[in-house]
Amino acid sequence: MESNPTDIFQRLRNGEMISSNDPQAYKMLDAAHATKELLVQMNNSVDPTEVRSFLSQITGREIDESVTVFTPLYINYGKNTHIGKNVFINFDCTLLDLGGITIEDNVLIAPKVSILSEGHPIAAADRQSLVPGRVHIKKNVWIGANASILPGVTIGVNAIVAAGAVVTKDVPDNTIVGGVPAKIIKSIEDK
């Protein structure tokens, strides 16, 4: 019998650190290989309807027909990714979603964006462990090219993340952030 009967994916969604010697760790690799099989097919399709169909299979939930994905797109698990309506994901983006990623409606994601809901501890003795942190991207966000969104971050409604930014902390609604690490550049005043 396993020492922790709670499913590893539930523990990840709950924010629990997963040790590299966890008896259920193999399930993460098995799931990643299953996702990779679907990704290969999705990333070789030129039909937008087919791409959405594969993405629906990967995430385990229907992807709305208003969603546009320019492949390639890379996802390590998929079942912890939620994508709203009228979302645009440009070429060569990466979603590491074991900790959970929510992308609300009307979000624009530029090329080479990385959204990472998992990382590793600072302590060298624990470095092989996995630390999840849910990422939440709220409505009307625009994420610029080559930006990285790190675990545990929420990006507020109408916010803009500048190209190349590394977002390590929550971004307030109606602000523009940029830099490494990202800092508030200015507020957005709608006219």
Per DSSP, the three-state class of 103 is strand
CA 180 to chain centroid? 19
Is residue 1 pLDDT above 80, yes or no? no
Give the catalytic positions in this structure: 120
- Could you give phi then psi for residue 68, rounded to 5 degrees? -120, 130
Beta-sheet strand order (sheet of 148-149): 73-75, 93-96, 114-116, 148-149, 166-167
User: What DSSP character marks residue 174?
Assistant: T
Q: How confident is the model at residue 5 (pLDDT cuts 50, 70, 90)?
A: low
User: What DSSP character marks residue 64?
Assistant: P
Average predicted confidence (pLDDT) for the chain: 95
Name the amino acid, one letter, at 117.
Answer: S
Q: What is the pLDDT of residues 144-163, one digit of tens each?
A: 999 999 999 999 999 999 99
Q: What is the pLDDT of residues 69-112, one digit of tens each?
A: 999 999 999 999 999 999 999 999 999 999 999 999 999 999 99
CA dihedral over 157, 146, 71, 15, signed as positive or negative: negative
Query: pTM of the prediction?
Result: 0.94
Q: What is the mean pLDDT of residues 133-147?
A: 98
Which residues fall within 8 angstroms of residue 163, CB to CB, at 6 or more apart?
110, 144, 145, 146, 147, 178
